[in-house]
Amino acid sequence: MRRSFVLDSNIIFSALLNSKSPLGKFIITSNIDKVKFYAPEYLSIEIERHFPKIIQISGMEEAEIRRLLLVLFDKIEFVSDQIIPFEFYAKSVPLVRGVDMDDLVFVALNEYLDSTLLWTGDKELYYALENRGYSKVVNFEKIKELFDID
């Protein structure tokens, strides 16, 4: 059975900063028959906005980071933020209010796609969503359980 996930920015940041980590390897080596990744186009804007910091923290050359980013982006189906109907944004506002409104588009996309789980590396968002009764969210610990990763 193939599982589908909406990736948030923190997951991509983590994979960029440590592509050899279990998380990075999972995304890079994922098989399309077993896993499908989605993200809003906003993700690419957010990555570019933080790109200088990513280079600084990673200690890698810009070209190396860009190559890795292409590999990661090749695994993701990007969805235009504009095709997500307003009602999904409205439904998602109470879920992210008081946490980070930048996460609104990720939750809205997750709701719009319906059969996906939001995979976040943001602990505050993860626990806020869980505490608000939102069951369509996972962290890497849950991913490891789902895919039997050590």
What is the average pLDDT across 94-121? 95
Q: Which residue has the higher pLDDT, 104 or 31?
A: 104
pLDDT of residue 140: 97
Q: Find the Cα–Cα–Cα–Cα dihedral 64, 65, 68, 73, rounded to 10°.
A: -140
In 3D space, the residue among 80, 47, 89, 82 whose CA is nearest the CA of residue 65 turns out to be 47
Is the pTM here over 0.75, yes or no?
A: yes
What is the CATH code of the structural domain delimited by 3-147? Answer: 3.40.50.1010
Task: Count other C-beta atoms under 10 Å from residue 70's C-beta.
Answer: 9
pLDDT of residue 85: 98
Q: ∠ CA(102), CA(38), CA(91), 5° rounding? A: 50
pLDDT of residue 1: 78
User: Would the pLDDT of 33 be above 90?
Assistant: no
